[in-house]
Structure 1
Amino acid sequence: MEDNENKEADMPVISMFFGIIITMNADDHVPPHIHARYQGHEASFTFDGNLLKGDLPRKQRNWSRHGCCCMPKSWKPTGSWPSTSSTHSESTRYADKEATDMTIDYSIKVTQCEPMPGYKLKVTCSDGATGIFDMSRYIDRGMFKPLKDPQTFDRVRLAFGVPSWPGDIDIAAERVRFDMQII
């Protein structure tokens, strides 16, 4: 399945304004951040508006200084916002990896994704790596529970380079790349 960035796809979009599309993915890496896209430009920002990677035109980049302060309520349900609430602590936040590893490529995308038996995805990433990502460890957790149905799991598609399913379910491309078994 090739990446599909049209409005028909289920996208992990949390906001759209002034032509800027803001997304945040479930079980994404730390620090908590958003992805902003504008007319072919892409950037990742921390919640306080600091640029992690990428670039936006200057006028749109100014949004990050003012817009981030009003967004945390939208981000909490993704599992990427630090929380002690049981309803928002589903994220494993790379507990089995070095959480502060800044070698993570914030611009990584999944360019191809194919469902496989056993809740696995065969993926190719934008850096050329191909591998198998095992979703079985997520299937009994929070937002991922609907994916227990194999027919629902098989409806995976790509939206903005992120494996996504109907019902606003997604898994961060960085997580997929970091944890997949290279083939």
Structure 2
Amino acid sequence: MIREVIVVEGRDDTVAIKRAVEADTIETGGSALNEMTFKRIALAQERRGVIIFTDPDFAGERIRKAVAQRVPGCKHAFITKKEALAKGDIGVENASPEAIRHALANVRSEMPSPDGQPLTWNDLMDAGLAAHTGSSERRMKLGEILGIGYCNAKQFLKRCTAFQISREEFEQALRELNMQHTPNEDD
């Protein structure tokens, strides 16, 4: 049984979560979050902790951001768009039980800035993650490696800070990304 309550968007997401793990959920009803839902999430956070597990799309990210802003200290679970895609539909409800368990085993906690040297905008630029051809795809793949999901460059930097991605962890993930995508001599 997962101790924390998992915040999902809808009933189908709850069904998918319960197929994968034993857990309690709170459904947001999509992006139609209301005060009562926020109060239930805040109470769950206070008593048991909360894991936000929304779809890897614009609406899911908007819900994730709204909940995290109103209920500080939540943990975050992410799946990739590929893991969430079925018949042109993106959603947690489409993810395999294995993908859901993997995401829940790799939750991230929001914390203050990491110790040491925090990542900077220049780090993202130097890594080809911002303002470069293909930077969006590189951020998507690096977000998968780091387990922080896909987002724009500004949000990527914020997530790296919020989830305490160390410079060492960032550089290791970047090496892994670059090894995956090293062009062949035939290219």
TM-score by length of 2: 0.26
- Higher fraction of strand: 1
